[in-house]
Amino acid sequence: MVFRLGAVYRVRVKEVTESGLIVTVGNNRTGFIPVVEMTGDFPDNPRLFFRRNDRLQAMLVVKSPDERRLVFSLKALASVQGKPSTHDEERKEREPEFDNLFQKFKRDSQWRLSLWKQSIETKRKRGRS
């Protein structure tokens, strides 16, 4: 398979790392999507939005002369298409799950903090008597 710069390829996420996504394309050729080449709303940790075996469309933006190093971009594809990347829709589906977990964490933390404050206040009152 000959890879062309600027062409859009269907890739499958092989591994998710802190620095980006290791993907496979074509006949098990390996490529990389760095965090900076993901759309603007993705955080620094791609593990929050991508999982192994996710299928994406990405644009080839860098290739070495021998095609051993392939770098893909979701950001470039989104800007060419003039719309958010296809993975944004899936991300939006996952957001409520994160929001629910965060709200539960916040409630639990506030409850624990109030218990801790009550405990400290009780200890202070005992010390004054």
- 1-129: CATH topology: OB fold (Dihydrolipoamide Acetyltransferase, E2P) (2.40.50)
Residue ranges covered by each domain of the chain: 1-129
β-sheet bridge partners, residue 12: 24, 55
Q: Answer yes or no: are the C-beta atoms of 19 and 34 closer than 8 Å.
A: yes
Closest C-alpha among 82, 107, 10 to residue 53: 10
| Token pair recorded at residue 121 | 């206040």
Whole-model pTM? Answer: 0.60
pLDDT tens-digit profile, the chain (129 residues): 788 888 999 999 999 998 899 999 987 889 999 988 887 666 667 888 889 999 999 999 998 888 788 999 988 887 777 655 445 555 556 567 777 888 888 888 998 898 999 999 888 888 765
